[in-house]
Structure 1
């Protein structure tokens, strides 16, 4: 699948619920997740990938929960949904971070938890 086909496929199949793309190289030796808009912005017309899958917030939440385990909690409050994430702080020790339940926050947590390598997670 080349760049133009990728963009056309995403635009054709994405619904308002889809916020993420899971994609892999044709050699199936690399897997990555990204926000749909950022993925399309960085895809070149000559780029070739093996395939992709569109994901909703709920599907990405499940991926984050899978890699983060008990360190990630999803909280429903009257003021809005939030994510509570316990992770290693740069200065050592554990840190609890509470943030809004957004696509960007989910992807950031996923990337940190997988160390940028979702295949080994």
Structure 2
């Protein structure tokens, strides 16, 4: 699938809840997650992928929990959801941020160092 095909298929398949894309190459040697909007901005028409799935915020939250384990929790305070996350590097302070798609991808990218592999 080339960039223009992906863009067309995204327009056809994306619902209002879909915020993330999980995509892989034909060789199945690479798997990545991204915000759909960031993916479409950065993906070039000449690039090729084999397939993708769309994820909503709850599905991505489940992926983040799998990667982080008990170092990330979701808490509700004053009617809003927050993430409390302990970065994996020693000496780093626990961080708290709003539960948003951007926060989820930031934590996911930090945890995987931008290079996730489907295990």
When the two chains are superposed, the root-mean-square deviation of aligned CA atoms in Å is 1.4
Corresponding residue of 1:24: 24
- Following TM superposition, by how much is the alpha carbon of 1:27 offset from its aligned partner in structure 2, in angstroms? 1.4
Are residues 60 and 97 of structure 1, via their aligned partners in 2, closer, same or farther at CA, if it must alter by over 3 Å? same
User: Bigger CA drift: 39-48 or 52-61?
Assistant: 39-48
- Following TM superposition, by how much is the alpha carbon of 1:120 offset from its aligned partner in structure 2, in angstroms? 6.2
Structure-2 separation of matches of 1:106 and 1:69: 14
- Aligned positions, number: 119
TM-score by length of 1: 0.91
Pairing 1:16-95 to 2, within 5 Å after superposition? 16-88=16-88, 92-95=90-93
TM-score by length of 2: 0.93
Structure-2 separation of matches of 1:28 and 1:88: 27
Corresponding residue of 2:99: 101
User: Bigger CA drift: 26-35 or 52-61?
Assistant: 26-35
Structure-1 separation of matches of 2:74 and 2:39: 26
Structure-1 separation of matches of 2:52 and 2:36: 11
Structure 2 residue runs without a partner (length 5+): none
Are residues 120 and 25 of structure 1, via their aligned partners in 2, closer, same or farther at CA, if it must alter by over 3 Å? closer
Contact 2:88–2:111 (CA under 8 A) maintained in structure 1: no
After superposing on structure 2, the runs of 4+ consecutive aligned residues of structure 1 that deviate more than 2 Å are: none
Structure 1 residue runs without a partner (length 5+): none
Contact 1:88–1:95 (CA under 8 A) maintained in structure 2: no
Structure-2 separation of matches of 1:10 and 1:26: 18
